[in-house]
């Protein structure tokens, strides 16, 4: 999901030879979830700008969410799938909303319970979740969210903005968060090879269908390892008809680009970066009852990276 591979500089000759070998020959990319676990940081930075309010200029809402997830794998099944046990260790988020100011939550803070977002995020901390991952990273099953306490619609909407766009209070929503690991090819690939995938995810705005094209860009060094760099370009279509109270929403086609950095030797994601843009038209009633059409443009950047245990 990123720009074309830059030249490798000051890399030992052995590393260069290994990288060149992997680029030139077919490489099998599949996940290996170790029993001693991996920890990933999910960072989402989102900005939404709305225009069209009578007598008002553009209004911009921003949010940053940082999460740390522990992921521990069982032994692979006969079909190559792996059951992974997940715990969210930390969540920190800050939202800046026009006319409301900043709202924040930090699970590591002593006053975390006093945050208005605590009812949404606090139940996620330490809750046991289980996901079944196919070798290519697709999540085929998810459980654990059914045991979470219910949250009101407003707080679920706040969670949706920063946690992958899904209602987290159900298994389908949680499952969509971990689909960020999906996308590996089902056959060996080399530099220049491309493949496509399509999947659907739930969203408060309507079910979303993502069509993505992946391209192997080459091999480079990251965190002291040779990683295969895979570019991705995607289009996201949303089923029309979403509404929230008196508002109806028409979501335009979203686009996304980025890079995946995959460690083929260890079978794990080292890092991924995805930037997406979503246009939307919101129709609601003004103070006098006449319809108002508002234009919204949401931009987000999601970074997932391996962190130390």
- Is 182 part of any domain? yes
- Is 128 part of any domain? yes
- Is 7 part of any domain? no
Residue bearing the bigger pLDDT, 243 or 202: 202
pLDDT of residue 25: 66
| 105-149 per-position pLDDT tens digit | 999 999 999 999 898 889 899 999 999 999 999 999 999 988 887
Q: Residue 70 in contact with residue 87, Cβ under 8 Å?
A: yes
- Is 264 part of any domain? yes
Residue bearing the bigger pLDDT, 305 or 199: 305
- Is 6 part of any domain? no
Report the number of distinct structural domains present in the chain: 1
Integer-rounded Cα radius of gyration of the chain: 21
Residue bearing the bigger pLDDT, 151 or 121: 121
Residue 15's pLDDT band, with cuts at 50, 70 and 90, is very low
Residue bearing the bigger pLDDT, 18 or 82: 82
pLDDT of residue 245: 62
Give residue 23's domain range: 13-307
- Is 187 part of any domain? yes
CATH number for the domain spanning 81: value is: 2.30.230
């Amino acid at each position: 999901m990123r720009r074309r591979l830059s030249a490798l500089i000051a890399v030992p000759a052995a590393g260069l030879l290994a990288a060149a070998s992997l680029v030139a020959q077919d490489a099998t990319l599949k996940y290996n979830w170790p029993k001693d676990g991996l920890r990933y940081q999910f960072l989402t930075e989102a900005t939404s700008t709305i225009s069209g309010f009578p007598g008002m200029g553009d209004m911009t809402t921003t949010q940053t969410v940082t999460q740390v997830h522990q992921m521990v794998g069982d032994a692979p099944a006969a079909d190559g799938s792996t059951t992974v046990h997940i715990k969210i260790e930390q969540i920190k988020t800050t939202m800046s909303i026009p006319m409301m100011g900043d709202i924040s939550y930090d699970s590591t803070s002593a006053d975390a319970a006093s945050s208005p977002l605590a009812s949404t995020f606090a139940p996620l901390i330490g809750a046991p979740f289980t996901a079944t991952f196919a070798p290519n990273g697709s999540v085929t099953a998810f459980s654990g969210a059914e045991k979470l306490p219910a949250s009101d619609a407003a707080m679920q909407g706040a969670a949706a903005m920063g946690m992958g766009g899904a209602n987290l209070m159900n298994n389908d929503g949680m499952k969509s968060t971990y689909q960020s690991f999906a996308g590996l090819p089902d056959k060996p690939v080399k530099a220049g090879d491309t493949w496509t995938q399509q999947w659907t995810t739930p969203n408060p705005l309507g079910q979303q269908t993502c069509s993505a094209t992946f391209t192997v860009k080459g091999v480079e060094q990251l965190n002291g390892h040779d990683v295969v760099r895979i570019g991705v370009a995607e289009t996201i279509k949303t089923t029309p008809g979403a509404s929230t109270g008196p508002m109806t929403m028409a979501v335009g086609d979203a686009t996304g680009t980025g890079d995946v950095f995959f460690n083929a030797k260890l079978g794990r994601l080292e890092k991924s970066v995805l930037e997406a843009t979503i246009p939307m038209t919101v129709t609601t009633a003004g103070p006098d009852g006449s319809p108002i059409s508002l234009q919204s443009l949401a931009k987000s950047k999601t970074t997932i990276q391996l962190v130390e245990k």
